[in-house]
Amino acid sequence: MAFSAWFRTTPLALMGKLQGWPRNVWLLTLAQALSMSATPIMVLLGGLVGAKIAPTAQLATAPIAVMILGLATAVVPVGLLGRKYGRRRVFLLGSLLGTLAGLTAALGVYQNDFVTFCVGALLLGAAGAVVQQYRFAAMEAVDPVKAPRAASRVLLGGLVAALLGPELAVIGSDLIDNSYAGAFLLLSAIALCGGLVLLGYSNESQWQGDAGPAVSETERPLGELLSQSRLWVAIGGAAIGYGMMSLIMTATPLHMHHMEHHSLADTKWVIQSHIIAMYLPSFVSGALVARFGQGAMMMAGLGAYGATIILALSGSDLLNYWTALVLLGVGWNFLFVAGTSLLPSCYRGAERFRIQTFNDFAVFGFQAMASLGAGALLTGLGWQVLLVACLPFIGVQLMLLAWWKLSKSRVLQADNN
C-alpha cells in the first residue's frame, strides 16, 4: 500500500491516462520510465565516449551496438527464465543487471578502458531485454481486447525516460573530473530505483499461468506458426521500425556533435525530442490501432520514415536534425505499437513465450546489426549514404503488408464460397 500511495502522488501527467488500469500496469509504466532512462544516456554519450577512448574512429558507435547486441542475445534466456520462474523474478534480475551495467560503464570511462566500457554496455543491453518484456506483461494484465491500449500505456513511461535520461547524462558529466563517468553512476542509481518499484509487481495474468503454459492447451508446430503472414507483418513492423530508427539515431549524435560541430546541448535537445516523439504518441496510438487497424498504422509509420529521410538529406541545420528525428520517433511508435498489438493474434496462450521470444530476437537482432553498421556507414560512406540505405527496408515492409492483405482476401473468398 505504501508503494501505491506514493505512486498516486507522483507528479506525472501520464498517470491520468492510467486511471482504471490494473495495478501491474501502473507499476510497469513507472518501472519503464525509470529503467528506460538508461537507454538515452547510452545513446547520447556512447558514441561520444567511443570517439574519445575507442582504438579507431570506426568503433566510436560500437558501445551502442554492443548494448543492442546484448539485448538481442539476452532475449532468448530472458524468455526461458520468464517461462520457468515467472516474470517478477526476471524483472528484478533485470534491474540488478542494469545497476551493475552502470557501475561497469562508469569504471570503463574513468579508466579510459574501452573494453570495460563495452562490457557495461553489453550488460545494459541484457537489462534492456528484460525491460522489453514489460509491454507483454502489461497486455497479459488486461483482457485481450484491451491489449493494444495496455501496451501503449506502458510505453508512455518512455516519455519520462526521454526527459530524465538526457538530463542525467548532462548533469552526470560534471559530477566528477573524468567527463561522462558520473552520468553512468546515475544510470546505475536509476536502474536500482526501477527494481524497487518492481518489488510491488505480482505474477497475475489474464492469459495463462505465468510459470508456464496450461497442460490442456496444445502448442502448434513452429512451422505452422511461421506460416502466418500476419506474424511476419508484426515482426517486420517492429524489426524494421527499430532497425531504421536505431541506425539513424545512433549516428546522429556523432554526426551532429563530432562532425558538424553542433553543441552538446543542441545534440541533447535533438535526441531528447526524438525520444519524446517515440513515446508521446502512445497517448493515442493504442486507440488509433483499435480504430484504423494495424495495417493503416504501419503505413503511417512508414510514411513518417520516408519524410525523415527526405528532411535529413536536405541539410544539416539544427532544425533539419530536430524535425527529422521527431518524425523518426513518431514513425517508430506507430510501427512498434502496431506490430506489438498484432503479435498476440498470432499465438495461443501456451505459445506466448515462444513467439514473444522469437519476435524480440528478430527485432533486436536486426536493431543490433543496424547499430553496429551505423559507425562504419557514417565514417566510411557518409551521412547521405546511411540515410539512403534505409529505403529498401521500407520497401520490404510494404511487401509484407501486401502479402498480409492478399492472404486476408483469400480467406474471405474461401469463407464466402
Q: Which residues of 174-208 are buried (b: 16+ CB within 10 A; e: fewer)?
A: eeeeebbbbbbbbbbebbbbbbebbebbebebebb
* 229 or 224, greater pLDDT: 229
Residue 11 belongs to a domain: no
Can you say how many angstroms the Cα of residue 173 is from the centroid of all Cα atoms in its chain? 24
Q: What is the mean pLDDT of residues 265-284?
A: 84
End-to-end C-alpha distance for the chain, whole angstroms:
58
Q: What is the pLDDT of residues 119-173, one digit of tens each?
A: 999 999 999 989 888 888 887 777 766 777 777 777 778 788 878 888 888 888 7
Q: Are 18 and 153 in contact (CB under 8 A)?
A: yes
Question: What is the domain-level CATH number for residue 285?
Answer: 1.20.1250.20
Which single residue is written with the C-alpha cell 518492481? 198
Q: What is the mean pLDDT of residues 344-362?
A: 78
pLDDT at 166: 81
> 84: which 3 cell numbers?
520457468
Residue 262 belongs to a domain: yes
Residue 27 belongs to a domain: yes
Share of the chain above pLDDT 90, in %: 24
Q: Are 64 and 46 in contact (CB under 8 A)?
A: yes
pTM score above 0.75: no
Please tell me the distance from the alpha carbon of residue 335 to that of residue 234, in angstroms, as a whole number.
9
Residue 402 belongs to a domain: yes
Residue 315's domain spans which residues? 21-212+222-412
**What's the one-letter identity of residue 56?**
T
Can you say how many angstroms the Cα of residue 256 is from the centroid of all Cα atoms in its chain? 22
Residue 155 belongs to a domain: yes
> 91: which 3 cell numbers?
524483472
Q: Are 63 and 376 in contact (CB under 8 A)?
A: no
> 315: which 3 cell numbers?
541539410
pLDDT at 16: 46
Residue 169 belongs to a domain: yes
Residue 7 belongs to a domain: no
pLDDT at 309: 93
- Please state the domain count of the chain: 1
The count of other CB atoms within 10 Å of the CB of residue 417 is: 5
Residue 9 belongs to a domain: no
Q: What is the pLDDT of residues 97-117, one digit of tens each?
A: 999 999 999 999 888 899 999
* 20 or 64, greater pLDDT: 64
